[in-house]
């Protein structure tokens, strides 16, 4: 017998920028404007990194344009001592939590230091395989609980990840042991070229939480204040010992899956354009305008500062010596094995023979 489960979409801001009925805002003007600045920074950076790839200055890149509200709205709520387990499209989220632009660019250029973070910043390397970061996040959260600590873990993933065993195993273990973890699914409707409709028979991902006995939430992923609202509640829920929450942030991938992808072969252009009209930055700007505070935002000045910050980071990144193939063998084990030593020597001899 077919059963239908209804999950209401949590929304604070309508697409026209008006406040949804029954909703309120608990942030001051400067805090609201700061969120806009963070999203603007993220948008400009994404566009810049996309161009760097097209110019051959970095490798394959997965753009996140249109998902800034989901990432900024959630990542900025973590405490310094918490843990983040990102997916490959989560450059924005990691920068909000303390990763620097330079090492992020090094990552996309294939440099061995690309996965590093500053001391005290608890961010795992981007999960490119789908989705090992989910059980890893559960393990970190469970360990925190066993030690009697208050740190929580937040892990990001896409809708395609929910079709993999790691997702179900992670949710099940987290639920059984009430691990303090927040599962944050950015449902951007596509897993490369596979649409959401072919990922699952359920109308939402959020309702999968029911099977594991945990809280599930469906939120407008293009509404930064709604994302903040549900993520804050989920973090408090986890930190207070009540277990995990599965958040589904409903959004759309308006750019290619990666710079190696051609979405025009499978996406309906009309649908893409409709979602572009619901752009998270434009929606939030309309809200700030209706609130009468956007005029305080010195757009051109801030934009110039952002461009300068990114330009300096790119210059620093491009001055870092490129990784040599023989360097990677030193970074597999603490003590190099005989097999690795032999492989490294073969590479060195090859380069010496070729005159490189």
- Name the residue among 178, 289, 290 with its Cα closest to residue 239: 178
Cα separation, 345 vs 29, in Å, equals 60
Cα separation, 80 vs 76, in Å, equals 10
Contacts of residue 252, defined as CB under 8 A and 6 or more positions apart, other chains included, come to: 66, 188, 189, 222, 271, 272, 275, 278
Q: What is the DSSP letter of 265?
A: G
Catalytic status, residue 257 = yes
218 and 250 Cβ atoms separated by less than 8 Å: yes
Q: Reduced to 3 states, what is the DSSP secondary structure of residue 156? A: strand
Cα radius of gyration (the chain) = 21
Catalytic status, residue 57 = no
Task: Say how many C-beta atoms besides its own lie within 10 A of residue 300's C-beta.
Answer: 7
- Name the residue among 97, 47, 50, 90 with its Cα closest to residue 70: 90
12 and 285 Cβ atoms separated by less than 8 Å: no
From 61, 257, 284, 344, active-site residue: 257
From 51, 54, 80, 266, active-site residue: 266
Q: What is the dihedral of CA 104, 109, 115, 119, to 10 degrees?
A: -50
Catalytic status, residue 266 = yes
Residue 228 CA: distances (Å) to CA of 26, 77, 125, 231:
11, 7, 24, 5
Q: Where are the beta strands (DSSP E) in 137-287?
A: 153-158, 181-187, 190-191, 194-195, 215-220, 245-250
Cα separation, 279 vs 302, in Å, equals 20
Contacts of residue 342, defined as CB under 8 A and 6 or more positions apart, other chains included, come to: none
From 11, 89, 253, 344, active-site residue: 253
76-86: burial string, b at 16+ Cβ within 10 Å, e else: bbbeeebbbbb
Q: Kindly give the pairing relationship between strand 190-191 and strand 181-187.
A: unpaired
The residues annotated as belonging to the active site are: 253, 257, 266
């Amino acid at each position: 017998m077919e059963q239908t489960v209804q999950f209401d979409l949590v929304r604070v801001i309508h697409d026209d920028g008006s406040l949804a009925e029954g909703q309120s805002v608990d942030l001051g003007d400067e805090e609201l404007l700061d969120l806009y600045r963070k999203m603007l920074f993220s948008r400009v950076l994404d566009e810049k990194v996309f161009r760097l790839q097209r110019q051959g200055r970095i490798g394959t890149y997965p753009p996140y344009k249109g998902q800034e509200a989901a990432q900024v709205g959630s990542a900025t709520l973590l405490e310094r001592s918490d843990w983040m387990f990102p997916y490959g499209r989560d450059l924005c989220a990691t920068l909000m939590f303390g990763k620097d632009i330079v090492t992020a660019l090094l990552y996309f250029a294939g440099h061995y230091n690309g996965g590093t973070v500053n001391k005290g910043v608890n961010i795992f390397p981007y999960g490119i395989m789908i989705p090992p970061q989910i059980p890893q996040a559960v393990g970190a959260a469970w360990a925190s609980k066993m030690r009697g600590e208050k740190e929580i873990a937040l892990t990001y993933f896409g809708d395609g990840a929910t079709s993999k065993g790691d997702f179900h195993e992670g949710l099940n273990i987290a639920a059984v042991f009430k691990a303090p973890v927040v599962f944050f699914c950015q449902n951007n409707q596509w897993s490369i070229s596979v649409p959401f409709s072919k990922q699952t028979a359920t109308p939402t991902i959020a309702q999968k939480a029911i099977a594991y006995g945990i809280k599930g939430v469906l939120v407008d992923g293009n509404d930064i204040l709604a994302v903040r609202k549900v993520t804050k509640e989920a973090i408090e829920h986890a930190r207070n010992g009540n277990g995990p929450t599965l958040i589904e942030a409903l959004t759309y991938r308006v750019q290619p899956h990666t710079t190696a992808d051609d979405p025009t072969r499978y996406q309906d252009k009309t649908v893409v354009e409709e979602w572009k009209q619901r752009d998270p930055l434009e929606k939030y700007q309309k809200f700030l305008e209706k609130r009468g505070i956007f005029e305080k935002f010195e757009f051109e000045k801030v934009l110039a500062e952002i461009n300068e910050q990114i330009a300096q980071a790119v210059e620093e990144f491009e001055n870092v010596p490129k990784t040599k193939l023989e360097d990677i063998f030193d970074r597999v084990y603490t003590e190099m094995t005989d097999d690795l030593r032999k492989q490294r020597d073969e590479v060195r001899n090859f380069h010496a023979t070729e005159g490189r």
